[in-house]
Amino acid sequence: MTQEEFMAKLAEVKVCPVVVIDDVEDAVPLARALEAGKLPMAEVTFRTPAAADAIARIAKECPNVVVGAGTVIDREQCTRAIKAGAQFIVAPSFSDEVAQCAIGHGVAYCPGTCTPTDITNALRYNLPMVKFFPAGNYGGLKTIKSLASVFPQIKFMPTGGVNVDNVNEYLGFDKIISVGGTWVCKKDMVAAKDWDGITKLCQEAYDLTH
């Protein structure tokens, strides 16, 4: 998926579910739960050994779900994610090798940033959007507004500490096209295979933001 396609999809869903999958068997039911809750997107974090297989399963069995990889911090992970079928790459940090790998494969890359220097690195690769992480800890919307004033060409996806109480505060700023978060698919709910509960949280987030 190109950067433009990814941004268009983010603008549509407004909330990108960040998911942690320990058991690959959970991948498809979880993706279906997100889709049923009108958030047909999953950022599958490369924090568990199941991540690449989970992406492959979702890519194969859930054609309406846009699946990507999160927490991608090096070339090896980026290559594995793309081979598995990741349509986008997200990270908590900026990495030259990940930028080169993703761009080389024509896959959208959204690096994590929280300082002007990080954003300048993203601009070296003409990236049009960045993740702002961890948003809550680094000053939230106030900091994003300061960064946006000097980087008017960049769009932001705040992640980290976003929830039902502050999501619309973030989305009210026009430089923010989407937020990311785990609150719509909490780890304990995945562990309990509470797919209906996850659908309900996604639907609530969708209703709140649309």
Residues recognised as catalytic? 43, 131
Residue 85 in contact with ligand 3PG, rule: CB under 6 A: no
Residue 3 in contact with ligand 3PG, rule: CB under 6 A: no
Residue 17 in contact with ligand 3PG, rule: CB under 6 A: no
Residue 160 in contact with ligand 3PG, rule: CB under 6 A: yes
| Burial of 137: CB neighbours in 10 Å, binned 0-12, 13-18, 19+ | exposed
Contact letters for ligand 3PG, residues 44-73 (x by CB under 6 A): -x------------------------x---
Residue 180 in contact with ligand 3PG, rule: CB under 6 A: yes
Alpha-carbon gap, residue 102 to 104, rounded angstroms = 5
- Nearer to ligand 3PG (CB atom), residue 139 or residue 161: 161
The alpha carbon of residue 8 and the mean position of all alpha carbons in its chain are separated, in whole angstroms, by 13
- Tokens representing residue 105 in the block: 């494969």
Q: CA dist 147 to 7, 115, 191, Å?
A: 19, 8, 38
ω into residue 134 within 30 of 0, thus cis?
Answer: yes
Contact letters for ligand 3PG, residues 116-155 (x by CB under 6 A): ----------------------------------------
Nearest to 64 by CA among 145, 9, 26: 9
Residue 182 in contact with ligand 3PG, rule: CB under 6 A: yes
Residues found near ligand 3PG in the complex (CB under 6 A)? 18, 45, 70, 159-162, 180-183
